[in-house]
Amino acid sequence: MSKQELETVAQSMVAKGKGILAADESMGTIKRRFDSIKIESNENNRRAYREMLFTTKGIEEAISGVILFDETIRTSASDGTPFPQVLSKKGIIPGIKVDKGPVDIPGFPGEVVTEGLDGLRSRVKEYRELGAKFAKWRAVITIGDGIPTYTCMEANAHALARYAALCQEGGLVPIVEPEVLLDGSHTVERCEEVTEKTLKITFAKLFDHRVHLEGMILKPSMVVSGKDNPTQAGVEEVAERTIRCLKRTVPAAVPGIAFLSGGQSAESATEHLNAMNAMGPHPWEVSFSYARALQDPALKAWKGQAANVSVAQKIFYHRAKCNSAARSGKYNKQMEAQAA
């Protein structure tokens, strides 16, 4: 894939009014999600759940791409159509999570680095053949007593840059995801400081590895208060601090920023995105790449039962449309009431 083709895919991923659905839960994560509605995480249930999401009528109005897990990209819908084709037929771009998850950094308690670079070149090639057009790699940065250290931020940024370069070489648009966790009791000021440092180091490494910035997407966390902090920053403050932090660190060459929700409630994630877009225009598209904030309400309605599919799809469509409105700062609370 040429640089031009990478740019075209990256721009489609952050098309106006659209965002990305993260449906790339690992086996452990999807089991926790299913435990919450008391159903078993087996191949059949996972397929039925993903099929419910992917076949929701009209979802392509708000969703530009879907990040899949290794099992999911190899799975077919009940009519035998492989999931990547189900999505492509709707004009939704299939993508794939390629990292192998975080492991502890020896000598650095409480800090992790993401693994998965070994064999990545051949995995990229295989995923392209299975229909993927973009990939995702998540780095995890924890705020705590004396952490994150420079070593941790640097190790993760280095891995992100090597991953991004390998993806572009193999014809996949890389989503670069340095997530600053909201776990902890830190202040919003501390989150802003850590996010800024993380992004500065990440872009320095992307530059060192000759990653084509116009052919990638950034998936950062928002600048929010630690979830255990009794004083939570309001919607406007989160939007202002997040945009300021991004303007200081993210080159305008990057086509778009697709935020992760990172454990925020579905409505909070939409409100924050809306407030940021209401402050625009910005140098890049300000979009979303949510997992729980798009899926959770639908998952709870579905409960693993075929009889609940149409209700759950309606709820999923509603969440996607709310975030679509937030892409241009046009979301409001009344939209929630209308769906109720």
Positions annotated as catalytic residues are 177, 219
CA–CA dist 20, 252 (Å, integer): 20
| Strand (E) or helix (H) holding 138 | strand 134-141
Residues contacting 135, CB < 8 A, separation 6+: 95, 96, 97, 98, 124, 127, 163, 167, 172, 173, 174, 175
Q: Give the chain's length.
A: 340
Q: Is 334 exposed, middle or buried (0-12, 13-18, 19+ CB in 10 A)?
A: exposed
- Residue entry with tokens 């648009």: 173
Torsions phi, psi for 42 (to 5 deg): -120, 170
